[in-house]
Structure 1
Amino acid sequence: MTTGFETAPVSRRDWLLSDRPTSRMQARLGRAYMIWLRFSANRLALAGLGLILALILVAIFADVLAPFDPVQGDLRNARLLPPGTGSYLLGTDDQGRDILSRLIHGSRLTLAVVGLVAVIAAPLGLLVGTVAGYAGGWVDAVLMRITDIFLAFPKLVLALAFVAALGPGIENAILAIAITSWPPYARMARAETLGVRHSDYIAAVRLMGASPFRIVLRHVMPMCLSSLIVRVTLDMAGIILTAAGLGFLGLGAQPPSPEWGAMIASGRRFILDQWWVATMPGIAILLVSLGFNLLGDGLRDALDPREAGR
């Protein structure tokens, strides 16, 4: 016997898309699900995500996927072999090393560079920007003038100066790129902070007795994270190109490390006859940079609150 008051079971999708969430967790999961729906509707963004996931998997399983040693080569029998010769799918370089194996192991260096630069530069820029925007006055003026000094120099030129002072090496290259990458994040965070510091939400938190440090850390910074994530993702391609430029000039990863920029530098002597030595790492840089750009564009559209109602 039924009473007539039973309700149909709510599907997981309806529960996530409910406009009246019953808990904070449901609201967060629903927002994340809506972001994923907008992101997955962009096929180019999915292609970029696929490229980046492929890069991560290749880097994780490099020891399994690489058919040859990336450092040791057969200088006597395998020097400058064209692609498709025997087991060398992408050919060999002037030291008889398999280019495919070097590209696979070089993906680890690429991920290390972009990951460490993002971990260092993004939080630093976020901290500087939010503090400057919320404090205002002379604090804002001093921090923004320092930011302007860094922005006045081209990123690669400034990175070259820092690496020249610190010395060549992948660790110093990462530090130099991170030092030159934080100013745009600071500018963006400051603009976001100026838009919310006088809002009723921040005023209510201030009236409850929260300190300026807590307001910036717990309430202002989280509101800048969406824009920061998008900006960092879009900047990954520039970070990769800067690292490759330092490697090309001999200031990044040192031989025999399989860094893609250094591989292009070693192959420029054979660019006319043995074109594959420099072309293959160039294609790898192109694909990874394209993947990050497509992913960043998709995240920008998915995280844009103006897209939520469309």
Structure 2
Amino acid sequence: MTLSAARAWLLDDTPATRRQAVWSRRYRMWLGLRANPMALTGLLIIIVVMALSLAAPWLTPYDAGFQDLANRLARPSAGHWLGTDELGRDIYTRILFGGRTTLGMVCAVVTLIAPLGLLIGCIAGYAGGWLDKALMRVTDIFLAFPRLILALAFVAALKPGIESAVLAIALTAWPPYARLARAETMQLRHSDFIAACRLTGATPLRIILRHVMPLCIPSLIVRITLDMSAIIITAASLGFLGMGAQPPSPEWGTMIATARRFLFSEWWVPLMPCVAIFVTSLAFNFLGDGLRDVLDPKER
């Protein structure tokens, strides 16, 4: 199949098969995303950051924990592109390996909160009644506390570390997704196709899992992408406060915490991890705005 024929097949307004309809929808989404320069820039930055973090062992000759006290607080140079910290560790190397830690924590949090919030919201919106009220009151309790403060309380109840930080952020970040899924479900539960599913004998659980939840996923993806920057900042904040990744682990928030006393003298030591957090968070915001334009029918 030639390129023009493939494009015509993907843009056909009357797809002949389900496979063609699925790929046509994906291709149109890509065209919409590609038409947004800021979203495309954000996507490229995220891909580059993740690729650099994954390829960290092959992109630097140093180990993240290697100390060279004779070369401590060195300025950026050909040997150390971003300089060295107070223990002579290469900052460029630690930012690459720190991306693994920070982005790994973010991915773990999203993996936990997205299915949990989606399931709770869909069940509450579809069931209604006392179950809806009970689930939403629990959600309101979590929403009543600032996310960082509640996360600090959870970590303090456990023990400082990456696992505790991931669990704490996950326990405090799921309520907005449950609220969003509930609102979407309440709009869908009286639809004709849902009524047809009930007439065929489908159970409420099957309707929720097979018909309601898939329709809530696009809005959830947009919300997650826009919320990724907040999750990154929360993870870095826990590290900065000593409740997340523990030294000498290379994590962006922890790097800022140990280097903050050099802010007005050796400025490059705390500045570089701040730039990494800023660029990555901004990229997720750009991508989230673009996905909202593509996936949210209200924006079309």
The question of a shared fold, defined as TM-score above 0.5 by the shorter chain, is answered with: yes
| Residue of 6, 14, 22 corresponding to 1:20 | 14
State the distance in 2 between where 1:287 and 1:73 align. Answer: 27
Q: 225, 228, 237: which one pairs with 1:236?
A: 228
2:124 and 2:44 map into 1 onto residues whose CA distance is 37
Bigger radius of gyration among the two: 1
What is the CA–CA distance in structure 2 between the aligned matches of 1:300 and 1:244, rounded to whole Å? Answer: 26
Deviation of residue 132 (structure 1)? 0.2
The whole-number CA distance in structure 2 between the counterparts of 1:204 and 1:261 is 52
The alpha-carbon deviation at position 10 of structure 1 amounts to: 7.6
> What corresponds to 1:35 in structure 2?
29
Q: Distance in 2 between matches of 1:81 and 1:131?
A: 56
Aligned mate of 1:60, from 45, 54, 62 = 54
Match of 1:93, as an amino acid?
Answer: D
Q: Please list every run of 5 or more consecutive structure 1 residues that lacks an aligned counterpart in the other structure.
A: 1-8
Question: Could you tell me whether the CA contact under 8 Å between 1:74 and 1:96 is conserved in 2?
Answer: yes
Q: Deviations over 1:159-192 (max 9, x none)?
A: 0000000110011000100110100000000000
1:76-115 equivalences in 2 (<5 Å): 77-84=70-77, 86-115=78-107
* SS, match of residue 251 in structure 1: coil
Counterpart CA distance in 2 for 1:123 and 1:262 is 29
For residue 124 of structure 1, what is the aligned residue in structure 2?
A: 116
Deviates more, 1:228-237 or 1:299-308: 299-308
- Cα distance in 2 for partners of 1:228, 1:53 equals 21
Q: TM-score, normalised by structure 2?
A: 0.97
Distance 2:203 2:296 in 1: 30
**3-state SS, counterpart of residue 174 of structure 2:** helix
Q: Which TM-score applies when normalising by structure 1?
A: 0.94
Question: SS at the partner of 1:19?
Answer: coil
Tell me how far apart the structure 1 counterparts of residues 227 and 133 of structure 2 sit (CA, whole Å).
26
Structure 2: tracts of 5 or more residues without a match: none
C-alpha distance in structure 2 between counterparts of 1:12 and 1:251, whole Å? 52
Runs of 4+ aligned structure 1 residues displaced above 2 Å come to: 304-308
> Which residue in 2 is equivalent to 1:5?
none
Amino acid at match of 1:82: R
Identity, in percent, stands at 60
| 1:21-46 deviations in Å (ceiling 9; x for gaps) | 11000011111111111000001111
Q: Which amino acid aligns with 2:46?
A: I
After superposition, where does 1:189-204 map in structure 2 within 5 Å? Answer: 189-204=181-196
Amino acid at match of 2:105: V
Q: Which amino acid aligns with 1:27?
A: A
1-structure distance, mates of 2:163, 2:146: 21
Change (3 A) 1:166 1:222: same
**1:178 partner letter:** A
Match of 2:271 in 1: 279
| CA–CA distance in structure 1, aligned partners of residues 143 and 18 of structure 2 | 40
Letter in 2 for 1:202: I
Displacement of 1:67: 3.0
Give the corresponding residue for 1:258: 250
